[in-house]
Chains A and B, each alone.
Chain A
């Protein structure tokens, strides 16, 4: 009898609680704010490259080059480097990201086991920005450019109308930029360095222009 009473009391409580909970659930509600944030990305890539030097240099020095898989770095392997050796490196870069980028001179680094990096000098000329649809052949500073014509042996340039763009400047998504780099081996190279190989790395700088 006692057990039956306790059981009945328990059942009454359970039913009461469930009714109260059901009622409360019907007298409370929720609305929501749903949001998504897609983050942009910054990416400047090397889309075309040229490595030019004089016929005289080509006689004694081999220059091999390749662009890294991420299209961010140009690597050059130059053999038998000696005094007055020089190379003109041309790059067409493109802003392939979704953000405007600040165009700055590339960063140079050398793999220099012989320690004669201090005998190198360089000059950088940057042109642009050019619209995405601009073909390379239409760029005065890119198509048909030759050493000792537009690109002088002393590291100066002589394009008929184009002048370098002061850096930094902004390249919007899709826009292209042309970079010309003159790297030159100065005189008075120590005997221990003459005829050695050198590796050069030219890395494009990603910089957000916001």
Chain B
């Protein structure tokens, strides 16, 4: 009787081990490795950067570089700050362009030629430029294209050419079609001090250039 029970037990064990082995043979795991590499949106200022004084000839009305009669009165300075290096492309640029004008006077003009570059891996689109006074003393009048005082008189005429809004910058330039897919954009900001500017005052302005994935 005991022998029968032992045989039965052994058979059950063997049967279970065989069925377990068979099950193991007919099951397996596959692994799907999925890597999502996101694009990189990044625009910055790059060289060249040139700051130039201009005056309007009182006779002809034409614009000439320098100051009237070669005077050396106003002092314009411009430089880039907030250096960045794109982690994907390694391209370098700056996030801020600083323009400092000292000893300015009515009719004094400064033109600053800067360059924008797509530093990232995604095509981008400039969707807004917003001009303001960070101190809140002046307000932007889009009709006059000037920062105006509380009485609505223009103090600083500011123009950016070409208009940056709606411009596209590609991440990579196709060498075959360089004009169609620009990576860089050269532009100019012109600051003109009007007759309404007050002596000894310091005025501030800020231009925010907003861009998004195109």
Interface, chain A (partner B; CB < 8 A): 27-42, 98-100, 208-210
Chain A residue with Cβ nearest B76: A37
- Chain A residues contacting B212 (CB-CB under 8 Å) are 27-29
**Closest A-B pairs by Cβ, 6 of them:** A41-B199, A33-B207, A35-B99, A28-B212, A40-B103, A37-B101
B98 within 8 A of A: yes
Cα–Cα, bound, A3→B196 (Å): 64
Residue contact B105 to A37, C-beta cutoff 8 Å: no
CB distance from A138 to the nearest CB of B (A): 27
Residue contact B200 to A39, C-beta cutoff 8 Å: yes
- Most B CB atoms within 10 A — which of A37, A39, A40? A37
CB distance from A38 to the nearest CB of B (A): 5
CB distance from A99 to the nearest CB of B (A): 6
Residue contact A39 to B199, C-beta cutoff 8 Å: yes
- Chain A residues contacting B104 (CB-CB under 8 Å) are 37-40
Residue contact A34 to B200, C-beta cutoff 8 Å: no
B211 within 8 A of A: yes
B4 within 8 A of A: no
Cα–Cα, bound, A27→B38 (Å): 11
- Chain A residues contacting B207 (CB-CB under 8 Å) are 32-33, 35
The secondary structure that dominates the B interface is: strand
Given contacts A28-B210, A28-B211, A40-B74, is CB(A33)–CB(B189) below 8 Å?
yes
Binding stretch for chain A, among B9-17, B26-34, B41-49, B176-184: B41-49
Given contacts A37-B101, A39-B201, is CB(A29)–CB(B42) below 8 Å?
yes
Residue contact A31 to B44, C-beta cutoff 8 Å: yes
Residue contact A31 to B71, C-beta cutoff 8 Å: no
Cα–Cα, bound, A134→B119 (Å): 57
- Chain A residues contacting B97 (CB-CB under 8 Å) are 32-34
- Chain B residues contacting A40 (CB-CB under 8 Å) are 73-74, 103-105, 199-200
- Chain B residues contacting A39 (CB-CB under 8 Å) are 104-105, 193, 197-203
B67 within 8 A of A: yes
Residue contact A210 to B105, C-beta cutoff 8 Å: yes
- Chain A residues contacting B35 (CB-CB under 8 Å) are none
- Chain A residues contacting B44 (CB-CB under 8 Å) are 31
Chain A residue with Cβ nearest B75: A38
Residue contact A33 to B99, C-beta cutoff 8 Å: yes
